[in-house]
A and B are shown apart, each in its own frame.
Chain A
Amino acid sequence: MEENNNHSNIETETEEKLKTDLLTLNMGPQHPATHGVLRVEIKTDSEIVAEATPHLGYLHRCMEKHCENLEYRQVIPFCDRMDYLAAMNMEWGYVLAIEKMLGTEITPRAQYVRTMVAELQRIASHLMFFGTYAIDLGAFSPFLYAFQDREFILRIFEELSGVRLLYNYIWVGGVWRDINDDQLKRISTFLETLEENLKKYHSLVGENKIFIERTANVAKITPELAYEYGATGPVLRGAGVKWDLRKDRPYGIYDKFDFDVITGKGEKGTVGDCWDRYQVRILEMFESIKIIKQCLDGIEEGPVMAKVPKIIKVPEGEIFVRTECPRGELGYHLISDGGKTPYRLKVKSSCFTHTSMLGDLAPGMLIADLVATIGSIDIVLGEVDR
Chain B
Amino acid sequence: MNSKSNPLSLDELSQLSQPRDTNPLTFKKWFTNIWETFRSVTTGLGITMKYVTSVKPVTIEYPEVREVLPDTSRSRLFNDVDNCISCFQCANVCPVDCIYIAAVRRDKEAPKLKTDGGNPIKLDLIQYTIDTALCCYCGLCTTVCPTGCITHTTDYEYSQYTVDQMKYDYLDEEVRAWKSRLIK
Interface residues of A (CB under 8 A from B): 1, 4, 7, 20, 22, 43, 45, 48, 50-51, 70-71, 73-78, 141, 145, 148, 151, 155, 158-163, 166, 168, 176-177, 200, 203-204, 207-210, 216-218, 224-225, 228, 269, 359-360, 363-366
CB contacts (< 8 Å) of A204 on chain B: these are 43-44, 47
Interchain CB contact (< 8 A) of A7 among B2, B10, B95, B136: B10
Expressed in whole angstroms, the minimum distance between the Cβ of A263 and any Cβ of chain B is 22
Say whether B13 faces chain A, with CB atoms less than 8 Å apart. yes
Say whether B175 faces chain A, with CB atoms less than 8 Å apart. no
Say whether B14 faces chain A, with CB atoms less than 8 Å apart. yes
B93 & A45 in contact (Cβ 8 Å cutoff)? no
CB contacts (< 8 Å) of B73 on chain A: these are 158, 162-163
Interchain CB contact (< 8 A) of B7 among A50, A73, A360: A50
CB contacts (< 8 Å) of B13 on chain A: these are 4, 45, 48, 50, 364
A160 & B72 in contact (Cβ 8 Å cutoff)? yes
A45 & B10 in contact (Cβ 8 Å cutoff)? yes
A148 to B136, CA, bound (A): 26
- Chain B: CB-nearest residue to A364: B16
Expressed in whole angstroms, the minimum distance between the Cβ of B164 and any Cβ of chain A is 23
- Chain A: CB-nearest residue to B33: A209
Stretch at the interface among B34-42, B102-110, B112-120, B165-173: B34-42
Known: A50-B13, A148-B58, A203-B43. A77 touches B8 (CB 8 A): no
Known: A158-B69, A207-B43. A51 touches B8 (CB 8 A): yes
B74 & A74 in contact (Cβ 8 Å cutoff)? no
Expressed in whole angstroms, the minimum distance between the Cβ of B14 and any Cβ of chain A is 5
A217 & B40 in contact (Cβ 8 Å cutoff)? no
CB contacts (< 8 Å) of B51 on chain A: these are 145
Q: A74-B94, A216-B20, A364-B8 are in contact. List 10 more A-B contacts (CB 8 A).
A: A4-B14, A22-B10, A45-B13, A73-B93, A208-B44, A209-B37, A210-B40, A360-B2, A363-B2, A364-B18
Residues from 125 to 175 in B contacting A, C-beta threshold 8 Å: 136-140, 143, 152
Expressed in whole angstroms, the minimum distance between the Cβ of B38 and any Cβ of chain A is 8
CB contacts (< 8 Å) of B21 on chain A: these are 217
A151 to B73, CA, bound (A): 15
B93 & A360 in contact (Cβ 8 Å cutoff)? no
A373 to B1, CA, bound (A): 17
- Chain B: CB-nearest residue to A80: B138
A51 & B10 in contact (Cβ 8 Å cutoff)? no
Interchain CB contact (< 8 A) of B152 among A71, A151, A162, A360: A162
A309 to B18, CA, bound (A): 63
- Chain A: CB-nearest residue to B19: A1
A158 to B69, CA, bound (A): 8
Expressed in whole angstroms, the minimum distance between the Cβ of A47 and any Cβ of chain B is 8
Known: A141-B48, A158-B70. A48 touches B16 (CB 8 A): yes
Known: A48-B13, A73-B93. A218 touches B2 (CB 8 A): no
12 A-B pairs with CB atoms under 8 Å apart are A74-B95, A148-B58, A162-B139, A168-B140, A203-B47, A204-B44, A209-B33, A209-B36, A209-B39, A217-B21, A363-B3, A364-B16
